[in-house]
Structure 1
Amino acid sequence: MSPDPSPAPVNPPRQHDYAPAARRLVSWVLVLGLLATAGYWAWHQSFMVRARTLWELGRMPAPTTLPVPVEGVAAGAVADTFGAPRGVDREHHGVDIFADRGVAVTSATRGVVASVRETGLGGRQVWVVGPGNERHYYAHMDDWTPGLAEGDVVGPGDRLGSVGDTGNARGTPPHLHYGIYTRAGPVDPLPRLRAHAPAPPGPAVAPR
């Protein structure tokens, strides 16, 4: 009988070198960390205030109460004309707030100015994107606040312009047309204006 063949040599197990993969992982973590730091820094700078405010407004609920956006006018003085016919093919998609020419028109909400322009039926007008991404429409103004521009961030009570009769309101008593537009279309501002009005004082109670 032939002798048993010699056993096959046993190869030692291969040693995996994880160092390159670890270096790549550390490099990616450092890059991502630097990008996150830079993004955080940029997000909180003044040049990002418009984007930051729009992001915050989009996460906020739409307000259920609003101050009257004309200085010195009470909600009880505003007539309910939402949906009233205008001509033969239009409806009134807002409320008319009458006041003397030049009285201040103020923003009803915090928001970002989307447009400052003079065009069409609204004449001199301002559009402001407010909480819940609702668009607030201020029209027929006599003039705008000097320097007001698209992209400006405004707060409740900030002056946008003054009451007038521009656009198709020419020749009528000066007033502000104020409208609110949602993704579903226009909504009546008056219930919110009235809800914001302070409750009348209760009856006096005689001391006992």
Structure 2
Amino acid sequence: MRLSIWALLLVAAAYAGAWAWQQPFMERARMGWRLARMPPPASLAMPVRGVAAARVADTFGAPRGADRRHEGVDIFAPRGTEVLSATPGIVGAVRQSGLGGRQVWVLGPARERHYYAHLDAWAPALAPGEVVWPGSVLGTVGDTGNARGTSPHLHYGIYGAGGAYDPLPLLRAAAADTPAGAATDGD
């Protein structure tokens, strides 16, 4: 049986595509495809090293002035404490602006956006497009933006298709999943 030239070209293209998909330069595309197919997380890793979920106050929705509400939780820790990615994802932005000061945005599972704000510093060489995993260092706790002069903390928020929602139940769910007696950061 003889294959036509078109069939051979199609087979060659399929092999080339399969090879390319596995190459390091396609890591971001592979991660984006996976993230879009993942459901929203049922639990989240603590985004500040050494802080127990039980120590985080539920401030989501608290009034902030006359015209806005708090769209996250504030996680207090000493200045310079590492801020970690709570999920796998792709860094969408590393910037300094507005209320959040130094901030990092990560596109996570179900294409939700995770917001890490008031950072004192960013992780060295952190840049948009970088693939991160739970525990990847994003920066350090600080008081930039509208937090200037307050106790150092991380403002952590999650934005899904319906807007901001409270991350604290997911942080507490991860803490509850930790087996009794297991070593954890700060528990």
Q: Which moved more, 1:100-109 or 1:192-201?
A: 192-201
**What is the rounded CA distance, in whole Å, between the counterparts of 2:93 and 2:10 in structure 1?**
37
Q: Aligned partners of 1:102 and 1:33: how far apart in 2?
A: 53
Residue 125 (structure 1) aligns with: 103
Q: How does the TM-score come out when normalised to structure 2? A: 0.92
Residue 32 of structure 1 deviates from its aligned partner by: 1.2
The answer to whether 1:79 aligns with 2:57 is yes
Distance 1:90 1:182 in 2: 18
Match of 2:175 among 184, 197, 208: 197
Q: 2:145 pairs with 167, 185, 188, which one?
A: 167
What SS does structure 1 have at the residue aligned with 2:50? coil
Aligned match for 1:110, one of 69, 73, 88: 88
The match for 1:97 among 70, 75, 78 is 75
Q: How many Å apart are 1:60 and its aligned residue?
A: 1.1
Q: Cα distance, 1:69 vs. partner?
A: 0.4
Which secondary structure state, in structure 1, belongs to the residue aligned with residue 4 of structure 2? helix
**What is the Cα deviation at residue 28 of structure 1?**
1.3
Alpha-carbon RMSD across the aligned residues, in angstroms, is 1.7
Match in the other structure for 1:134:
112
Equivalent residue, structure 2, for 1:59:
37
Unpaired segments ≥5 residues, structure 1: 1-21, 203-208
Please, which of 5, 13, 18 is the counterpart of residue 35 of structure 1? 13
C-alpha deviation, 1:122, in angstroms: 0.5
Higher relative contact order (CA 8 A, sep 6+): 2
Provide closer, same or farther for how the CA distance between residues 200 and 131 of structure 1 changes in structure 2, counting only shifts above 3 A: closer
Of 184, 203, 208, which aligns to 2:162?
A: 184
Which amino acid in the other structure matches residue 48 of structure 2?
A: V
Q: How many residues align?
A: 180
Task: Name the structure 1 match of 2:185.
Answer: none
Q: CA deviation at 1:131?
A: 1.1
**Structure 1 runs, 4 residues or longer, greater than 6 Å off:** none
Paired with 1:40 and 1:114, the residues of 2 have a C-alpha distance of 26
User: Deviation digits for residues 104-154 of structure 1, max 9, x if unmatched?
Assistant: 000001111111000111000001111111111000000000101111111
Tell me the equivalent position of 1:69: 47
- Higher Rg of the two aligned structures: 1
Task: Report what 1:206 is aligned to.
Answer: none
Taking only the aligned residue pairs, the percentage that are identical comes to: 66
Deviation at 1:156, TM superposition (A): 0.6
- What amino acid is aligned across from residue 110 of structure 2 in structure 1? G
Structure 2, unpaired ranges of 5+: 182-187
